[in-house]
Chain A
Amino acid sequence: DVKVTQSSRYLVKRTGEKVFLECVQDMDHENMFWYRQDPGLGLRLIYFSYDVKMKEKGDIPEGYSVSREKKERFSLILESASTNQTSMYLCASSSPGTGSNYGYTFGSGTRLTVV
């Protein structure tokens, strides 16, 4: 069974801390994504990567950075966590041309609380 694995289900961090959210996929997908999910809002794209060491800003990149040193791993970094970054973070991966499904395989999410 193919998977996208996020290293933590729940995290509590203090304001100003540097936070790392890790995501690993075992499907050899080229594309990986980080979204945040907030009540009343649809998923919003933070960053995505279409290859190792490549990254593109999404719709809300401010306050975040990413790292993709290996194809299977995509890390989201909060340089200095703030309370408005309290959210559910979802990682996803995708590979173009996989049948009719051009959507994503999502991880289970990391619920981050910044206090």
Chain B
Amino acid sequence: GESVGLHLPTLSVQEGDNSIINCAYSNSASDYFIWYKQESGKGPQFIIDIRSNMDKRQGQRVTVLLNKTVKHLSLQIAATQPGDSAVYFCAENIKSGTYKYIFGTGTRLKVLA
């Protein structure tokens, strides 16, 4: 299949382990953040979001942590499965109430059997 990015940082984890993917965002005024998953040959898919008035949000097997002090966002995936293999990237809404987003370049997650 086609690759989204040829020079992406790669995180390799054993199946069943937890994964942590990091993102440094750029604008201290950004108030809404999204994590996307993009599988090979497919468009990005929404995973989880978080607003700036929160520092943690949990979904099904995924948790997003927000540290506004250092402008850092992380995505934790519990019990990583082969189907989690994809490129993950974050997006920050730099102007509240608009569709002005900055997208990260992404991290490739490889799940090892």
Contact = CB atoms under 8 A, between A and B. Distances in A.
Q: Do A and B bind each other?
A: yes
Interface residues of B, number: 26
Interface string B2-46: 101111100000000000000000000000101010000111111
Size bin of chain A's contact surface: 20 to 34
A4 B101 CA distance: 19
Given A100-B49, A106-B43, A108-B43, A94 B2 contact: no
Given A31-B99, A33-B99, A103-B49, A40 B43 contact: no
Contact of B34 (A103, A107, A109): A103
Interface stretch (B63-71, B77-85, B102-110): B102-110
A103 B7 contact: no
B43 A102 contact: no
A87 to B, nearest CB: 12
Interface of A: 4, 9, 31, 33, 37, 39-45, 48, 88, 90, 92, 94, 100-109, 111
Given A48-B99, A109-B43, A102 B32 contact: yes
